[in-house]
Amino acid sequence: MDYIQPFNRILLVGCNECVTVCSAGGRKEVGLLSSALQSAFLSAGKSIDIKEHTLERQCDPEYVEELVGMMDGVDAVVSMACGCGVQEVARRYKNKPVFPAVNTKFMGASERQGVWAERCQGCGNCLLGITGGICPIARCSKQLMNGPCGGSTNGKCEISKEVDCAWQLIWDRLKMLGQEERYLDIIPAKDWRTAGGGGPRKIVREDLAG
Amino acid sequence: MEKFEPVIVAFCCHYCAYTAADMAGSQRLDYPPNVKIIRVPCSGKVDAIHILKAFERGADGVYVAGCLEGDCHFKNGNLKAEKQVQYLKKSLDEIGIGGDRLEMVFMSAGMGELFARKAKEMTEKIRQLGPSPVHTQLEQQAKQKAS
């Protein structure tokens, strides 16, 4: 609210992709936030004009282009996409302030309805093939590469009883697959350049890129 | 200041509270005309957006009335509604409207007397709280427009 306080006409933009399925920034959440903001500003004695729009995707310029016609009538844009969407909108519409309305935290999977947990850190050189399909980078608190630490008790991590020990999960799964010998393989120290240590990352598909 | 008459929206499940309201009518029970009833197929069908929109348009209080625990026609819509209401109360606090303007109540179709009592209780509670800040602003805006 502090972000948009100085503005009178806001464009609130949702995204139909990932943020929709995790109930964070789809059409439905755009409606809810719009109504909540309207009431919050009214309560404080200010009326603002909020336009709602939800794009198919906010991380592709083709879709972000659709907002062209709406930009003249607004003072600022509030994006309910992940950080990629916010930045794409900001890149395309350089003269409009763009603010994030979703606090993007991690790449996760849904454990059950309404619960999401981190599964992937996008670190490059994927290890899942040798760790039984369970990631020690995203799911071990210490990102250990060769078995658990002394803090693993009854399958739980020492940081919290709510957190599974990734290496316990890996061992259980390797046993189930009859691949116990995999556990003996020494995984060398990870080269973190592919995980962002080498600067911002980029993928170029030569066959697709013009 | 003129006497404050709260506007209260009651989302009533067709299988219980709505029928209870009917029952209250047949029994000639008095309940405040402040309560505007909206019939829904199940209290679980009441979405956050319906509740937020009611407040945005100036309702001073909202309540969702569903079946008694275990009696939901659709298994557990009433319990889902309660979760939703509890969650929204926090949002209403953040918005500045106040979570205590929203309530969940449970009753069966035969409880006409309870329906009338809940309507009275809610009206009295909201009367004590005073008009919602949104309601006050909307009224001021309307006055400014008129003058």
Domains and their CATH numbers in chain B:
8-146 (3.40.50)
Q: Given a cut of 70, is residue B1 above it in pLDDT?
A: no
Among candidate residues A130, A171, A122, A125, the one with its CA nearest the CA of residue A148: A171
What is the torsional sign of CA A78, A46, B58, B68? positive
Q: How far is B16 from chain A (nearest CA, A)?
A: 28
Write down the pLDDT at residue A210: 78
Contact in structure between A113 and A155 (CB atoms under 8 Å): no
What value does the mean pLDDT take over residues A82-105? 97
Residue type, A14: G
Which stretch of A13-17, A21-25, A152-156, B140-144 has the lowest confidence by average pLDDT? B140-144
Q: What is the pLDDT of residues A37-67, one digit of tens each?
A: 999 999 998 989 999 999 999 999 999 999 9
Give B97's contacts in chain A (Cβ within 8 Å). Answer: 39, 43
**Fold annotation for A9-100:** Rossmann fold (3.40.50)
The pLDDT value recorded for residue A188 is: 94
Give pLDDT, residue B83: 97
Domains of chain A, residue spans: 9-100, 107-189
Which of A1, A2, A5, A35 to mutate against chain B (most B CBs within 10 Å)? A35
Q: Are B109 and B66 in contact (CB under 8 A)?
A: no
Question: Can you give the pLDDT at residue A137?
Answer: 97
Give the mean pLDDT of chain A.
96
Q: For B26-70, how does the pLDDT look when each residue is reduced to its tens digit (9 = 90+)?
A: 999 999 999 999 999 999 999 999 999 999 999 999 999 999 999
| pLDDT for res A2 | 86
Identity of the residue in B49, B91, B96 whose CB atom sits nearest the CB atom of A43: B96
**pLDDT tens across A154-196, in order?**
999 999 999 999 999 999 999 999 999 999 999 999 999 999 9
| pLDDT at B52 (0 to 100) | 98
pLDDT, tens digit (0-9, with 9 covering 90-100), for B67-115:
999 999 999 999 999 999 999 999 999 999 999 999 999 999 999 999 9
Amino acid B147: pLDDT: 84
ipTM for this model: 0.91
Q: A117 and A111 in contact (C-beta within 8 Å)?
A: yes
Q: Which of A27, A9, A164 is nearest to A77 (CA)?
A: A9
Q: Which residue has the tokens 């693993």?
A: A152
How confident is the model at residue B21, as a pLDDT?
A: 97
Interface of A with B in 3-62 (CB under 8 A): 28, 31-32, 35-36, 38-40, 42-45, 47
User: Does B55 sit within 8 Å of A39, measured CB to CB?
Assistant: yes
